[in-house]
Structure 1
Amino acid sequence: MYIEQAYRKGFNFGLYLPIPVVFLVMMVLNYAAIKLLNINTEDLLRQQVEEKGENRVFVELIAPLSIALVLLLLWVKYVHKQTIRSLTTSRKKVDWGRIFFAFGIWASFTVAVTLVDFYSNPGNYEWNFQPVPFAILAVLSIVLIPMQTSFEEYLFRGYLMQGIGIATRSRLAALLTTSIIFGLLHVANPEVGKMGMVIMVYYIGTGLFLGIITLMDEGMELALGFHAANNLVTALLVTSDWTAFQTNSVLKEVTEPQAGLSIVLPVVIIFPILLFIFSKKYKWHNWKEKLTGKVVLPTHEIY
């Protein structure tokens, strides 16, 4: 029902292309510039931070995606004539309880894992907390990060999931296409330069996980909460010189990253555990049909 409810008479997949195409072209050009000009993204970020400060660089990085969220929602409302509620969920109203549950469970897990690693390996971290810069970061993060993560979720798990699903009549095509594109868009991140392309396993795996919970739950609420928790807690809790977010966080990781269990573990163990928890709490069933079944278009518009 989640995908199908975006269908309307005179459906034109071409109207789905401008926003993702512009976004993809910008990402490709950014990646091409980095490669052709041999730009070291870690050094570039460090230079920007030294010149402008962490909080200003943070805003410059994240604000464009926050603005993009507004543009996407306006496009859906006035070009597609679709309600934001129907882009978000198949329920009669957005279930904020689901958003906060996913946010809480992933934020708690992230904090717990970070604290365990901090006390187990104190030499890997520096105390980075400064009250005033952190307070400013907290305000900026609480406002901007949910908008940034919501843009990515509305674009991939909402807008493109529905558009591709209706165009191909295939839930599996929508799931795989959006997950792979979501992962590949992170290819210019500094983390890729440090760990290599193997980290794409994590990015694509995360996209696949978010797509699965959206299709199984017939709505984006869980994905919205999870993604917001992931970025918000990370920005506030721990930073390093080689991550995309350079922030005035509580801790700073000073070790060099290694491509190992930290990449594979979430995809093969942690995400399946979360799927189990969500499935029991929200009584999911009929997995095969919801993930790989055919999209059957309604005979009338339903939003």
Structure 2
Amino acid sequence: MNPAGSLTIRAGFTENRVRIAGVVLERPAMTRLFVGQNPDAAVRLVPHLYALCGEAQRVTARAALAAAEGRSAACDAIDTRLLWLEVLHENLWRLLLDWPVACGLPAARDEFAAWRSARLGVDGNGATRRLIEETLCPLVERCRIVLDDRGVAPTWPQLDVAAWLAWWRAPAGERPVIACTTDIAAAYLARVADVARAAAALEAGQAFPLAAAGGDGLGVAQTLTARGVLTHAIALRDGKVARYHLEAPTDASFAGPAKLAALLADRRYATAEAARQGLEAAILALDPCLPYQVEWQDA
């Protein structure tokens, strides 16, 4: 198994529709490594075990521990800049490399590579503005046509540490539900809006969304990544980690077939190949953070 886990999507083409037969997400139980460990050491290990969105992982783990210990763990200026840059990087990667291909258009590889080299330089903000204006905006207009923009408003998940802390106190109950869009084009446009918001926040030095709650040895922290809400929860006992839970956006989006099926529910396709392309676009809209395979069966 890949260190990040595996994702298998089983689907078929019947009556001009994509039918989702199953979604199987398997994750290695990495957080078990933290149990019995010194909490500071465990938190320092997090971004090494979960490299994707590593800055968000690091800051959220640190905030969860601080909440459990009754402390505050606000982001400093360096953390804030790194977090906004990480959101920009992950979103632009998808918007310039993957979404164009899904829409039958060429990827903007050279432009993205040039921005990656320039983003940390003295004119990093200017490089971001130019990439958005000269490359991303024209590409968005072309992709919207292919994606059949139906005018569904994008939605964004919200941080809710109070609900997650209540669950963490009694984890036998149901986990809080994180809202997700049911329209492919709306999911795409939400990412476009996230890029604009992150670029503006980076220039203004705006605080990054991070929330934490807890005390008496229990702590929960959440932040936003390019894929959605990231949640860390920690429980301490006798100065050691007693329990640890990490909920990545992929865990919520692919916990079962419901969210993927909702994106495809009212879409019809003339051919099996068109249906395959529609399924790939729906998967991209949910954006799993690990490799996946599709097991496809034609009618």
Question: TM-score of the superposition, structure 1-length normalised?
Answer: 0.29
**Structure (1/2) with the larger strand percentage:** 2
Question: TM-score of the superposition, structure 2-length normalised?
Answer: 0.30
